[in-house]
Amino acid sequence: MNPSLKPVLLVAFGEEENLGVGYLMSVLQGAGITSRMIDIRYDSEEILAAIKRESPVVVGFSVIYETCLDGFTELVSYLRKGGVDCHFTAGGHYASLYPEELFGFIPGLDSVVRFEGEYTFPELVNCLVTASDWKGLRNLAYRENGRVIRTPLREPEKNLDNFPYPYRRPLREYALGKRYSTIISGRGCTYSCSFCNTGEFYRQAGGPLKRIRRPEAVVDEMLRLYSESGCRIFLFQDDDNPVKTAGGNLWIKSFCSEIERTGLLGRVIWKMNCRPDEIEPEIFSIMKRHGLFLVFIGLEDGTDEGLKRFNKKMTVESARYGVEVLRQLGIGFDYGYILFQPESTFSSLRESLRFLEEICRDNLVPITFLKLIPYFGTRVERELREAGRLTGRPGNFDYSYLTPALDACWGAVLNCFDEWLWGRRGAVNLAKWVRNCLAVRDHFGKPDEIVERQRSSYCETVAQGNQFLAETLYGLFDCFESGRHLSEGQERIERIALESARRHDIICGTFRENLRAIQEESSR
């Protein structure tokens, strides 16, 4: 196949390396098909111009997140009105699980590639190029005579190492001049948390809920990226890295041995994701010696009742123990925490916030949290729908809390701390940038008085921010639970928001100074 005659364009979310699209592009390349990814966040005019310029045989849209539904819907309509008449297909989690709904939202689509597309998508491209019938391919959905047809599913590839390494754009800087890359050790998750649809995706796909690559293959990919692209930092994107498997800790021990055998020991560092109840001193000490510098853990809730409701299959005590192990070993951590939930009460909010304060007591990590979003295909979405509490539409589902006071309280939290907690230039995000720089400096640099002063300043600032945030939240909980917000009105919230903005400016200014000083010292 002459790739220059049969280009494929893939429209996807490109905030970070999109490994799903990267794997697809590498498979297409192996089949002699030229492909290119365009970020969905580009202007529609720019995407239209690229399509007209390259005249692809097919445009694929990666609809992984339902929050992007509106953007894809508007874009496809714009492209069709702009005269693009080539085949439009879609893939990703939402497209795979709800093809009927997706065709309803985006009538400009011709097909949906369901579940993993490494084999189906190249077959679709070949059929379109040769003007062959593509409707008999497996893993597809399409419309015919007013209804959606789902073709039979193929068995997912059991050996992920049969796929070529994913296509990657030129590597970018993580911190202090060190380049990074994302990578996976496997796909899927064996757990079934009520707020997550990963398990449902792989269950409907018909294959194992979790597949793990060989540790030798993972480290070989790391070695290539280190040798050919100068990559020094690896960010694993697995939902749950194989710290514990059916073989106990055998996989991760083999992985660490491979890092040492290949000469990567001391030359690279890596971040991974796991459950806090998988963290044990012995194995994590080994992992740290072999480059582990950061762990993302799903804490989610600070009460056993809340963890049970989420079907987390762990306890607060096991989460507390996991965090303490990381703290004792000096391994950094990020965390997921869902403070506001459909069943929240003011009492549960206080208890969960106290646990969050405890987790962040060393002032190395800022307090942060989320509101639970009822994503498609989750137990939470189903339960809210059955209870008549689900509001909005796909891509924008929401719910009301158990009392109007809680709804008003959440609105006040948004008003006072939206930018602080979730903004790209907010305090929490800037704190993580400082933390990243310090971690890279610790592993690749030498002890320095200036850097240590910045570390001390960073910790003091995190402490100040955490204290103000927690005290303000407790005050809001008291105000709204007592009903005082009805008499004190919007004026009180506006005063808190102004003070929050003032504190936020000071904290962010300190973090920016920390970054500047660390970067300047490291460049000498």
Predicted structure pTM score: 0.95
Other C-beta atoms lying within 10 Å of the C-beta of residue 430? 22
Q: Distance between CA atoms of 30 and 486, rounded to whole angstroms?
A: 65
Q: Quick one: fold of 3-150?
A: Rossmann fold (3.40.50)
Q: Quote the mean pLDDT of the chain.
A: 94
pLDDT digits 0-9 by tens, 146-191: 999 999 999 999 999 999 999 999 999 999 999 999 999 999 999 9
Give the strand order in the sheet containing 231-236: 172-175, 178-183, 231-236, 269-274, 292-300, 332-340, 370-371
What's the pLDDT band for 6 if we cut at 50, 70, 90? low
What is the C-alpha end-to-end distance of the chain, expressed in Å? 52
Q: What angle do CA 159, 163, 165 make, to 5 degrees?
A: 130
Q: In the chain, pLDDT over 90 holds for what percent of residues?
A: 89
Tens of pLDDT along 212-225? Answer: 999 999 999 999 99
Average pLDDT, integer, range 19-32: 95
Domain boundaries, the chain: 3-150, 403-524
Query: Tell me, what amino acid is at 498?
Result: L
Give pLDDT, residue 25: 96
Say if residues 12 and 177 touch (Cβ distance below 8 Å): no
Q: Render pLDDT for 120-150 as a digit per residue (tens, 0 to 9).
A: 999 999 999 999 999 999 999 999 999 999 9
Per-residue pLDDT reduced to its tens digit, 467-524: 999 999 999 999 999 998 888 768 888 999 999 999 999 999 999 999 999 999 988 7
Are the C-beta atoms of residues 205 and 116 closer than 8 Å to each other? yes
Residues 6+ apart with CB under 8 A from 155: 206, 207
Closest CA to 469 of 419, 407, 435: 419
Structure confidence at residue 5 (pLDDT) = 56
Supply the pLDDT for residue 131: 93
Count other C-beta atoms under 10 Å from residue 380's C-beta. 25
For 316, the token pair is: 């607060």
